[in-house]
Amino acid sequence: MNTTDNQTTAAPDDVLVSLFSDPAVRADPYPAYRQLRETAPVHHSAVLPLWVATRYDDCGTVLRDPRFGKSEEVQRIFGSSAQSADREVPIISRYSMLRMNPPDHTRMRGLVAREFTPRRVDELRPAVAAMVDEILDQFADAGGGDIMDLLAFPLPVRVIGELLGVPVEDREQFRWIVRDAAGALEPMASAETIAAAEAASNTMNGYFRSLIAERRNRPSDDLIGGLIGVRDGGDRLSEDELVATIVLLFAAGFETTTNLIGNGMISLLRNPDQMRLLRNDPTLGHGAVEEMLRYEGSVQLDARTALEDADIAGHHIDAGQVVLTLLGAANRDPDRYQDPDRFDITRTGTQHLSFAAGIHYCLGAPLARLEGEVVFDRLLARFPDLAGDTTPVWRPSLTLRGLETLQVSVR
């Protein structure tokens, strides 16, 4: 322990381990983030081992600088064995864009990016609004309930399911399959977590390989059909890359948006003045979603590997070393945001790192923003007496931050 100004402060690695292993700290990680920012904003951990960055500017540099990229070293560190980098965990499959560097990443991203342009996504607004209204009808009939079960999961999985062409009757099962798969994204993942992720991977890969085979026999005009055309037409996409891309788009397309809705809802419930403000002025909707993403981001950390020697804030990073960027800490950096621990939907010029940055900036960000804006616009307009539990249980994870349940009542 280090003692400064008569206050006892935990060593940086002790704080880091508590973030990854203590459920109470994961439920409210922001004091730990603050301590790391103030005492060791960039430091090399002997526990994982890797470098840890916590400030907005340092994290942004790592995410944008071409000297940093993707490597198998991240998964090897996060997993429970040296062989974990070779395992087919779906969201971080070796054939996924998430583990690629240019030129392969450039080729892969270019093939699907046109489906997620802001203009094309905004064309979905009426359809998404209709889906939300249909779900809220059921919500009203029940007088409320668990918003995670009744809205936060069903809406995003329906939106991305319709875009990709995943049959309605097959979607529900993936809520738990994707959650198991996402466990492999956690630092210091246990052997049991990795095993569950492997099982989930086998299920997802098998399902989508079968669906692709079916669509080859019965062509469709959905996104899966389009990607099959890219694969079979120009051979610019291997079969493994096709499967990994579809798995990534589907899993990431609802998992993080589910958490955005839940995290945004609890932020409003805990700050009723901001809820009233948003209800009275729906034009604040876009800014409100940005503040939700900053204040309680669905993705709390990311990682890059130094592809060559580099310096971050005066610290020398050797080629091959991993830098963990704590996005949740960066998004509350007081050097970047005034009063960062205050939830304020009127913030202007807010730029956050919840969708990462650089060439790996989240492809589905426009779609997630759209769904968030529509949900809170319709929800607050329809239910003026909305109330809920302000002390819910958080999921036992840090990389992907979200609620287990959130009970809400409406009239």
Contact partners, residue 45, CB within 8 Å, separation at least 6: 12, 13, 16, 51, 52, 324
- Per the CB < 8 A criterion, the answer to whether 102 and 109 are in contact is no
Q: Minimal CA–CA distance to 28: which of 370, 263, 374, 363?
A: 263
**Per-residue pLDDT at 71:** 87
Percent of the chain whose pLDDT exceeds 70: 93
Per residue in 22-48, pLDDT (tens digit) is 999 999 999 999 999 999 999 999 888
**Per-residue pLDDT at 116:** 74
**Per-residue pLDDT at 232:** 64
Tell how far CA 390 is from the center of its chain. 22
Higher pLDDT, residue 102 or 91: 102
**Per-residue pLDDT at 133:** 97
DSSP string for residues in 343-399: --TT-SS---STT--GGGS-TTHHHHHHHHHHHHHHHHHH-TT-EE-SSPPBPS-SS
> In the structure, what pLDDT confidence band is assigned to residue 252 with cuts at 50, 70 and 90?
confident
> In the structure, what pLDDT confidence band is assigned to residue 1 with cuts at 50, 70 and 90?
very low
**Per-residue pLDDT at 402:** 96
Average pLDDT over residues 141-165: 94
Residue identified by tokens 């990229």 is 69
Per residue in 292-328, pLDDT (tens digit) is 999 999 999 999 999 999 999 999 999 999 999 999 9
Q: Radius of gyration of the chain from Cα atoms?
A: 21
What domains are defined for the chain?
A: 2-409 (1.10.630.10)
Average pLDDT over residues 360-369: 93
Say if residue 212's pLDDT is above 50: yes
**Per-residue pLDDT at 236:** 78
> In the structure, what pLDDT confidence band is assigned to residue 82 with cuts at 50, 70 and 90?
very low
Looking at residue 181, the DSSP 8-state letter turns out to be H
Its pTM stands at 0.92
Say if residue 347's pLDDT is above 80: yes
Average pLDDT over residues 58-87: 77
